[in-house]
């Protein structure tokens, strides 16, 4: 057996991130934090819920409970969710000795 085959066999596949899963409108991001804070926060597959035959991941149990109480409040209405993007500019300084 070659080295590459051995590496391929050792690779773990996360069943929670399977492309076959029907994820919700926010993909694997938490819809509660996206709606409340405008932040794309990756949800925890262990903290998920199913709504309208789609799976939603949440940042924590509190976010999941908020979603389950009023799911429509955290889903996009007629357009994709608005996300604020912040770009940081760094200045590199070189010191010559």
88 found inside a domain: no
Q: What's this model's pTM, rounded to 2 decimal places?
A: 0.61
Q: Does residue 67 lie in a domain region?
A: yes
Measured on CA atoms in the order 56, 79, 37, 69, is the torsion positive or negative?
Answer: negative
When divided into structural domains, the chain yields a total of: 1
Q: Is residue 6 part of a domain?
A: no
Q: Is residue 51 part of a domain?
A: yes
- Give a yes or no: residue 2 inside a domain: no
**9 inside domain:** no
Residue 90 has pLDDT above 70, yes or no: no
Predicted pLDDT at 10: 46
Q: Is residue 70 part of a domain?
A: yes
> Whole domain around residue 51: which residue ranges?
25-75
Is 39 domain-assigned?
A: yes
């Amino acid at each position: 057996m070659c080295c590459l085959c051995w590496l391929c066999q050792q690779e773990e596949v996360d069943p929670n991130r399977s492309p076959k899963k029907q994820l919700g409108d926010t993909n694997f991001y938490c819809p509660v934090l996206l709606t409340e804070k405008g932040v794309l926060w990756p949800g925890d597959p262990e903290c998920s819920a199913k709504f309208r035959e789609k799976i939603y991941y949440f940042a924590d149990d509190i976010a999941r409970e908020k979603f389950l109480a009023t799911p429509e409040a955290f889903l996009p209405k007629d357009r994709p969710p608005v996300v604020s993007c912040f770009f940081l500019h760094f200045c590199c300084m070189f010191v010559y000795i």
